[in-house]
Amino acid sequence: MMTYAVMEAAGKQYKVYANEKIKLDLNRDFRVGEKLIFNNILLIGGDIVKIGTPLIPNASINATVLSVGKDKKIIVFKKKRRQGYQKTQGHRQHHVEVLINEVNCGS
């Protein structure tokens, strides 16, 4: 059984496996090839399951930044009927695509 982890980044939880690509909603300037270490590990699963209270001590996830970009544009439309009010806005969310190199279980 493959080892996986549930980590917390920017207020969201992600289930990750080793050698997996994921997109994170992180609002910071990243460079392609930058090494990241995530220490907020909530759960490690696989043959043996470790559950944090709330975090698992000494557990970490090593990752590498693959790309930085924006998602597709979404349209936000607001309207109040019979008031003559309508507003249209667009939004593109920033994201960082990372490759999970290793899941360290800690002790």
pLDDT score for 27: 77
What does the block give as tokens for 63? 């990752």
Give the model's pLDDT for residue 46: 86
pLDDT at 1: 64
CA distances 104 to 37, 45, 77, 83, Å, are 10, 12, 44, 57
Q: Specify the pLDDT at position 81.
A: 96
Give the model's pLDDT for residue 68. 93
Q: From first to last of its 107 residues, what are the pLDDT tens digits of the chain?
A: 688 999 999 899 999 999 999 999 987 889 999 999 999 999 999 888 999 999 999 999 999 999 999 999 999 999 999 999 999 999 999 999 999 999 988 76
Q: Strand locations in 1-107, DSSP E? A: 4-9, 12-17, 20-24, 35-38, 41-45, 50-51, 60-70, 74-80, 85-91, 94-104
**Model pLDDT, residue 40:** 93
Q: Tell me, what's the pLDDT at 2?
A: 80
